Amino acid sequence: MASRVSKLLPLQVAAICYRRRGDAVQFLLVNTNGGNKWTFPKGSPDAHLSHSQAAEREAAEEAGALGTIEPRHFHLYLYSKGVFWHPNGVQEFVVKAFLMEVHQMRRPDESMRNPTWLSPDEAKRRLAKGREVKYARELHAVIDRALERIQFHGALWGTHSGSRHSRPAAHS
């Protein structure tokens, strides 16, 4: 996405939460505020936090997810809120997506969010439901890019079901 688009639209930050179950990857989705759609934990940036820290906060507040978040976003996507027949209409946002491996779950601060672990295909299906094709494609691309990144890290770090906590040796 062109950087000029991100300067024209309001910014949000999202935690793309995942966990490994054997060789499978699952994604954590939450209900939107209205409860009729699924989304990633996300919200507005905070002036006192980095964008990744703000995304990490959203994961904890909305989904009760605690883990390791990458310091840099791996993807930008368009997201919409609202409906055209309401006075405020549809508002588009550009969202910075940060990959977060979840290590622990707790009770979310926002009780109506219904955090749910899903396979990549089921996550795509739920993210698409009730959305215009344009935004569904944006969310599908987030899942695809996240899977590419998770698989790349797995190959780089030798991470698979047998060595989940393996990390590369530190280089000075």
Cα–Cα distance, 38 to 2 (Å, whole number): 26
> What does the pLDDT read at residue 150?
93
> What does the pLDDT read at residue 151?
87
Tell me which DSSP letter residue 44 carries: -
Cα–Cα distance, 5 to 150 (Å, whole number): 27
The CA distances from residue 7 to 45, 56, 91, 135, in Å, are 14, 23, 15, 19
The CA distances from residue 97 to 28, 33, 59, 108, in Å, are 14, 19, 12, 20
| pLDDT mean for each 10 residues of the chain (172 residues) | 63 97 95 88 95 98 97 95 69 95 96 95 96 94 96 63 38 36
Cα–Cα distance, 142 to 98 (Å, whole number): 10
> What does the pLDDT read at residue 83?
63
Q: Is 40 exposed, middle or buried (0-12, 13-18, 19+ CB in 10 A)?
A: buried
Cα–Cα distance, 117 to 95 (Å, whole number): 21
3-state secondary structure of 116: strand
Amino acid residing at 111: S
Beta bridge partners of 145: none
> What does the pLDDT read at residue 155?
64
Domain ranges for the chain, please list them. Answer: 3-157
The DSSP result for 84-108, as a single string, is: TTSTT--EEEEEEEEEEEEEEE---
CATH code, residues 3-157? 3.90.79.10
